[in-house]
């Protein structure tokens, strides 16, 4: 989706400049000629309606998707608590303003909330202050692009210029700040088994019961030391789940874990994945469940991903 956004965001200047040329023509054209320009806008709107209608969108949804840029009120990106406000996790178009109300970027996304979160993390404070959102759920690639174009035309007409973030060659809004990897869970303070007041299996039980999703693997989240552990971590990461990792090879902080986890689950191999406090299997089972959709269901039921 980033590639698509980059491709469309960096459209050639000549194409994006077309609305401005039309504006100049209209300002100097006779009234009759000006009226003749109007059908073009209605034709564009009609085409958008036809596209959405052909995609099976209801009339109400089509009307919602055609919400005019100028009639959409911007909303704050961050709430009073400093966290991202509630935004759709569906596809759509969004327009980002800085704290002074200047439009900086018009983007399209398969998951609006995710894109906004990415911008907030990657860009300077104050640049992503408020946003206009046009939700286009279940849109095809073409429909999304059409919606973006419609809003871009309106935005250019309103501001008199292309948003700076959409200028040709501009890549600021495609940047993504590397997210710090979540640290692995450590079962002990690192003083050795002899200082523990309970067994390692008891500690495992606490972790399993406490975490929505936890994977016991060989290695860490960013440096798995086994192909099967890598497989499990990749699947969980791609699922978007909020999950914890415990490194069974860490003898300092997780002494005896490699054997304790096998006894705990009655499962002879590693990695092992627990969801909602229940053991669901190793790499092969997780992979198969991912393919069949069962993993997503289990993660949703555990509250590890949004349903």
Partner 1 sequence: MVGSSDVEERLRTELDVQDLKVQELAGCGTSFALYIVSESFAGKRLLERHKLVNLALAPLMPHIHALSIKKAKTPEEEQGAAEKQKPPSQQQAAAM
Contact residues for partner 1, defined by CB under 8 A: 226-228, 266-269, 279-285, 288-289
Q: How far is the CB of 227 from partner 1 (least distance, A)?
A: 8
> CB 53 → partner 1: shortest distance, Å?
33
Q: Which is nearer to partner 1, 14 or 266 (CB)?
A: 266
Whether the CB-CB separation of 255 and 246 falls below 8 Å is answered with no
Work out how close the CB of 291 gets to partner 1 at its nearest, in angstroms, rounded to a whole number: 11
Q: Which is nearer to partner 1, 155 or 280 (CB)?
A: 280
CB atoms within 10 A of CB 2: 16
What secondary structure letter does DSSP report for 161? S
Q: How far is the CB of 230 from partner 1 (least distance, A)?
A: 13
Q: Which is nearer to partner 1, 116 or 270 (CB)?
A: 270
Nearest approach in angstroms of CB 285 to partner 1 is: 6
Tokens of 201: 């299996």
By beta-carbon proximity to partner 1, the closer residue of 134 and 302 is 302
Q: Where are the alpha helices (DSSP H) in the chain?
A: 2-9, 13-28, 31-54, 59-65, 112-122, 141-159, 200-210, 227-239, 257-265, 283-292, 294-301
Q: Which is nearer to partner 1, 112 or 236 (CB)?
A: 236
State the minimum distance, in angstroms, from the CB of residue 183 to partner 1: 27
Contacts of 300 (CB under 8 A, 6+ apart): 306, 307
Residue 208's alpha-carbon distances to 5, 38, 276, 298, in angstroms, are 40, 64, 8, 15
Question: Which residue, 15, 39, 16, is CA-closest to 160?
Answer: 16
| Distance (Å, whole) CA 150 – CA 93 | 10
132 vs 231, which CB is nearer to partner 1? Answer: 231
- Output the CA torsion 34→38→39→40 (10° steps): 100
Q: How far apart are CA 231 and CA 215, in angstroms?
A: 11
């Amino acid at each position: 989706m980033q590639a698509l956004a980059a491709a469309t965001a960096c459209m050639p200047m000549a194409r994006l400049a077309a609305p401005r040329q039309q504006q100049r023509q209209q300002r100097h054209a006779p009234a009759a000629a000006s009226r003749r320009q109007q059908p073009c806008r209605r034709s564009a709107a009609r085409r958008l309606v036809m596209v959405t209608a052909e995609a099976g969108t209801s009339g109400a949804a089509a009307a919602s998707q055609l919400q005019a840029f100028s009639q959409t009120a911007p909303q704050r990106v961050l709430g009073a608590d400093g966290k991202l406000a509630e935004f759709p996790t569906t596809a759509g178009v969004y327009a980002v303003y800085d704290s002074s109300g200047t439009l900086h970027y018009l983007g399209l996304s398969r998951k609006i909330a995710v894109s906004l979160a990415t911008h907030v993390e990657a860009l300077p404070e104050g640049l992503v202050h408020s946003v206009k959102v046009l939700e286009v759920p279940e849109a095809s690639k073409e429909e999304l692009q059409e919606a973006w174009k419609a809003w871009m035309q309106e935005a250019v007409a309103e501001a008199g210029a292309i948003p700076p973030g959409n200028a040709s060659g501009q890549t600021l809004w495609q940047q993504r700040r590397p997210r710090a990897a979540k640290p692995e869970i450590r079962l002990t303070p690192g003083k050795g088994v002899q200082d523990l007041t309970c067994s390692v299996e008891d500690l495992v039980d606490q972790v399993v019961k406490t975490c929505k999703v936890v994977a016991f693997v060989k290695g860490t989240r960013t440096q798995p030391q086994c192909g099967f552990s890598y497989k499990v971590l990749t699947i969980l990461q791609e699922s978007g789940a909020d999950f914890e990792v415990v490194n069974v090879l860490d003898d300092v902080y997780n002494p005896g874990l490699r054997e304790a986890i096998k006894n705990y689950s009655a499962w002879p191999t590693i990695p092992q994945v627990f969801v909602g406090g229940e053991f669901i299997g190793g790499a092969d089972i997780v992979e198969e469940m991912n393919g069949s959709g069962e993993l997503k269901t289990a993660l949703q039921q555990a509250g590890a991903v949004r349903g």
